[in-house]
């Protein structure tokens, strides 16, 4: 198990500090690898996932310049980029495309596409009519990159960009998304 975690980390799939235990953070890293490799996202390290690890499948940011966060909606991966290089790739769950109602008003669960900047942040839990957001980094109106205890390998959010609570804590602790930093969603 430790070798698996070390290999995922070497390929920049974030899982925290390798500890030899297949917990949520490791499963999230496996999801991210499977998404980037174009595999079924089941969180199981079977033959196809093992082959992707062995061949060194790495997430590729769209731009090799600059720093910030890039969200590839097609693959469902959030990438933290520094000076054009991939620092970390994370599984993310974005807008699920379904119709929902908020205070009697219908809306479609879609994540906005474009180039944004972190406008504001809250270092703690935000409870809204749509749910709970852990340590949100708002990039457009009420849309944020935030921690969530449920981050499946498919789009299910109202439009925010979900990452695991552990990953969001790491982003905060390392100062990886300060106010003003770039958020590019495509």
The CATH number that applies at residue 101 is 2.40.440.10
Q: Find how far residue 8's CA is from the centre of its chain.
A: 15
What's the pLDDT at 65? Answer: 86
What's the pLDDT at 63? Answer: 85
d(CA 63, CA 157): 26
- Six-digit token string for 92: 């993310």
* CATH number of the domain to which 37 belongs: 1.10.101.10
Contacts with 13 (C-beta within 8 Å, 6 or more apart), sequence order = 29, 30, 32, 33, 59, 88, 89, 90
Q: Based on the fold, state whether residues 125 and 170 are members of the same structural domain.
A: yes
Longest Cα–Cα distance in the chain? 51
| Residue 62: inside a domain | no
110 secondary structure, DSSP code: -
Q: Based on the fold, state whether residues 32 and 72 are members of the same structural domain.
A: no
- Six-digit token string for 120: 């504001």
d(CA 33, CA 43): 9
What's the pLDDT at 85? Answer: 95
What's the pLDDT at 186? Answer: 97
Q: Find how far residue 127's CA is from the centre of its chain.
A: 20
For residue 146, the cross-strand partners are 162
What's the domain range around 32? 2-55
Q: Based on the fold, state whether residues 86 and 111 are members of the same structural domain.
A: yes
Question: Beta strands 182-185 and 131-140: pairing type?
Answer: unpaired
Question: Angle 47-55/24-37 helices, nearest 10 degrees?
Answer: 80
What's the pLDDT at 123? Answer: 98
d(CA 164, CA 157): 13
Task: Decide if 84 contacts 60 (C-beta within 8 A).
Answer: no
- Give me the tens of pLDDT residue by residue for the chain, a chain 186 residues long: 999 999 999 999 999 999 999 999 999 999 999 999 999 999 999 999 999 999 999 999 998 789 999 999 999 999 999 999 999 999 999 999 999 999 999 999 999 999 999 999 999 999 999 999 999 999 999 999 999 999 999 999 999 999 999 999 999 999 999 999 999 999
Q: Based on the fold, state whether residues 81 and 128 are members of the same structural domain.
A: yes
* Count of beta carbons in the 10 Å neighbourhood of residue 48: 15
What's the pLDDT at 64? Answer: 77
What's the pLDDT at 109? Answer: 98
Count: domains in the chain: 2
């Amino acid at each position: 198990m430790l070798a698996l975690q070390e290999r995922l980390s070497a390929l920049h799939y974030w899982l925290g500090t390798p500890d030899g235990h297949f917990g949520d953070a490791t499963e999230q890293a496996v999801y991210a690898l499977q998404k980037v490799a174009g595999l079924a996202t089941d969180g199981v390290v079977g033959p196809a996932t093992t082959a992707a690890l062995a061949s060194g499948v790495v997430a590729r940011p769209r731009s090799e310049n600059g720093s910030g966060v890039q969200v590839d909606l097609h693959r469902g991966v959030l990438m933290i980029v520094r000076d054009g290089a991939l620092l970390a790739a994370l599984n993310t769950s974005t807008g699920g495309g379904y119709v929902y109602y908020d205070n009697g008003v219908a809306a479609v669960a879609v994540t906005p596409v474009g180039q944004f900047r972190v406008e504001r942040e809250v270092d703690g839990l935000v409870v809204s009519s749509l749910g709970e957001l852990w340590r949100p980094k708002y990039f457009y109106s009420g849309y944020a990159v935030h921690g969530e205890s449920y981050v499946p390998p498919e789009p299910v959010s109202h439009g925010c960009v979900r990452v695991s609570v552990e990953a969001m804590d790491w982003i905060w602790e390392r100062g990886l998304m300060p106010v003003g930093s770039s958020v590019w969603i495509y």
